[in-house]
Chain A
Amino acid sequence: MSEKILEVKNLKTSFYTHLGEVQAVRGISFSLNKGEVMGIVGESGSGKSVTSLSIMKLLQYPGEIKSGDIFFKGEDIVNKKNKEMLNIRGNEIAMIFQDPMTSLNPVYTIGDQIMEVIIRHQGLSKKKAKEKAIDMLRLVGIPSPEERVSNYPYEFSGGMRQRAMAAIALSCEPDLLIADEPTTALDVTIQDQILKLMKDLKEKLDTSIILITHDLGVVADICTKIVVMYGGLVMEEGTSKDIFYNPKHPYTMGLLKSIPRLDLGEKKRLIPITGTPPDLIKPPKGCPFTARCPYAMKICSLHAPKYTKIDENHKAMCWLLHKQSPNMKMDTGVKRGIVNE
């Protein structure tokens, strides 16, 4: 077993708004090994982004980590002072954000923005930092980086800006890269390029990656491990194989069923998950998915289920996995799932 780079234990993050406490993340645990790529999947409001901001300790007022531990390279960073975090952010843990169009400061050149992080963490001279910035741009596949380095963000296309973001994030060779929906705002061809880029970079730099997305299709062939989140909780966790071929949670099945496929014929409709996510100011007592679950039982709304271990790496939080639960015939969505092997 290789070393653990990140371990999140029972993390709870809340936003204290005037309407009440929004419990965005309600006790999640997972761990990530060195060199591993983990996907966090879930729909909007399931707590994916809040989880990543918690790990970066970049939550803005009124958000706060309520309890739990985040071990990064064996050290608990929950109680680290902001000063210590400044040396970790951008250096050991870096982040790529969702919208490349708005994630770069419009009034500084791409080069300045890459150099800033290099100078900050590696203490290189301006000249050396510029050379490194050019190398980084070349690495992420920007053509003629010597000229492009002095361009402003508005002179870059969306895909190029996301590459530039990747250059910023990777320029200090972080141990952990968190990519929060890095392809959501891009069109499909560019999505594919960015995912390929991340895969290449992972192999070149041996960075551990957390890839956050609402699209199972995106994580399919890059992630070794997938965490499915819903209502601020981890619903199911397993290897990509487990999630795509042996899903145990009805929510995971729902996600699989809603992936568009070309090879299923024109007549097949996508099956959406009906309903809306739960209100996290007053989160449901039982399983948060109860209201939308086609297989919900009485107990589901009364008590939250415990995790059932299916095997070493695979676990799910569902009453249907309890040994006393009835044997239901379920449409797991596997047949529709992505077959990429």
Chain B
Amino acid sequence: MGRFLIRRFISMLITIILVITFTFVLMHAIPGGPFTAEKKLPVAVEEALNERYHLNDPYWKQYIDYVLDVARFDLGPSFQYEGQTVNKLIGDGFPTSAKLGILSVLLTLCIGIPFGIISALKQNKWPDYTVMFLATLGVTIPNFVIATTLIYVFAVKLSVFPTFGIKNWQSFILPVLALSGYSLSFISRLTRSSMLEVLGQDYIRTVRAKGIPEYKVIFKHALRNAILPVVTYVGPLIAAILTGSFVVERIFALPGMGRHFVQSITNRDYTTIMGITIFYSAFLIIMILLVDLVYGIVDPRIKLDK
């Protein structure tokens, strides 16, 4: 186990360095810079700004300085927001996004997996048709449509939930629903198909032939085998959802970090682009590592040390 973790840690570092390099190159390949605006700044001012943010340094020096800063967990100052560091931007936005994200992931798991199981057990009967119909809608309807529909129905017409911002616990309900619509539906479908496959296996027949009650057949024997594909999907899902959604946070006017993904690029806010990308990649890599660890627990055939 220890050797596995050390090896994984090294490969994670390499991945992060590659991500930094690619993002750095791509970022500088797009025309314009952080201080290019429609209204041209006086040359002297622009020069001064470039000088202050070390943009006049050769690229290789900028790159090395940046990597060294990252190694000290310093993502640099934001070019767009006066006096703000990227660390602070993420620190301000992430808690909100993460709160929404955790709730969405919980909802996805607590509803998606049971629905998938019910669907598989009642294959080709009405509960299955109902769940699969809803799941198809959830997968196909984009989240901005879900979000605006939810606002229209529950906030505007019925006025049971607030339309925007975060004031109390009710404010979370609509964004969480909009955020988890896709993943919830996807997990239901995934659980259903995986469960159906497992229930048709010979070893399930063996368990039934032992006289084991059906609930144990399902939850002890079938689910543990059927859950692997779901675990695979949930890892990256957590990284994606917890770092916020541009669309949903925009629609509900939530101060999360989702907007930075899009806005930093439009603004050529170099340090924020880099910072956000690194944050997301690191998060994703850690989640994938966790997925692998969970694999080893769920399925003894998967050996991490080899």
Contacts and interface: CB of A to CB of B under 8 A. Distances in A.
Interface string B186-206: 000000000000000111111
- The residue in B221, B225, B300 that gathers the most chain A C-beta atoms within 10 A of its C-beta is B300
A90 B225 CA distance: 22
Contacts of B300: 106-107, 109, 152, 154
Contacts of B210: 89-90, 94, 116-117, 120, 168
Nearest to A82: B214
Contacts of B204: 105
A120 B205 contact: no
Given A105-B221, A152-B301, A154-B301, A117 B211 contact: yes
A120 B212 contact: yes
Interface residues of B, number: 20
B69 interface: no
A106 B203 contact: yes
Contacts of A97: 202, 205-206, 209
Given A152-B300, A152-B301, A154-B301, A103 B202 contact: yes
A105 B299 CA distance: 11
Given A152-B300, A152-B301, A154-B301, A105 B211 contact: no
Contacts of B224: 107
B289 interface: no
A103 B221 CA distance: 12
B211 A88 contact: yes
Contacts of A152: 300-301
Interface string A115-134: 01100110000000000000
A179 to B, nearest CB: 12
Contacts of A165: 206
Given A105-B221, A107-B224, A152-B301, A94 B206 contact: no
A120 B211 contact: yes
A102 B301 contact: no
A140 interface: no
A53 B300 CA distance: 31
Interface residues of A, number: 29
Nearest to B222: A105
B203 A90 contact: no
Contacts of B213: 86
B160 interface: no
B304 interface: no
Nearest to A117: B210
A332 interface: no
A56 interface: yes
B208 A105 contact: no
B166 interface: no
A87 B211 contact: yes
Contacts of B301: 106-107, 152, 154
A43 interface: no
Nearest to A105: B203
B207 interface: yes
Contact of B206 (A85, A104, A154): A104
A91 interface: yes
B206 A86 contact: no
A104 B299 CA distance: 14
- The residue in B203, B224, B225 that gathers the most chain A C-beta atoms within 10 A of its C-beta is B203
A89 B203 contact: no
A103 B299 contact: no
A224 to B, nearest CB: 24
A173 interface: no
Interface in A230-258: none
Given A97-B202, A99-B202, A106 B209 contact: no
A58 interface: yes
A95 interface: yes
A261 B40 CA distance: 97
A122 B194 CA distance: 33
Nearest to B201: A102
A168 B207 CA distance: 10
A160 to B, nearest CB: 16
A97 B207 CA distance: 11
B303 to A, nearest CB: 10
Interface in B146-169: none
B298 interface: yes
- The residue in B210, B212, B213, B224 that gathers the most chain A C-beta atoms within 10 A of its C-beta is B210
Given A97-B202, A102-B201, A105-B225, A89 B298 contact: no
Nearest to B301: A154
B211 A90 contact: yes
B205 A90 contact: no
A99 to B, nearest CB: 6
Nearest to A53: B205
Contacts of B299: 106-107
Nearest to A95: B209
A90 B202 contact: no
Contacts of B205: 58, 97, 103
A121 B212 CA distance: 9
B207 A105 contact: yes
A86 B208 CA distance: 8
Nearest to B298: A107
A48 to B, nearest CB: 16
A208 to B, nearest CB: 17
Nearest to B227: A107
Contacts of B206: 97, 103-105, 165, 168
6 contacts: A105-B225, A106-B225, A106-B301, A117-B210, A117-B211, A120-B212
Given A90-B210, A106-B225, A120-B212, 15 more contacts: A56-B209, A58-B209, A85-B211, A87-B211, A99-B202, A102-B203, A103-B205, A105-B221, A106-B203, A106-B299, A106-B300, A116-B212, A121-B211, A152-B301, A154-B300
Instruction: Please name the 7 residue pairs, one residue from A and one from B, whose CB atoms are nearest each other, closest first.
Output: A89-B211, A90-B210, A90-B211, A102-B202, A105-B203, A117-B210, A95-B209
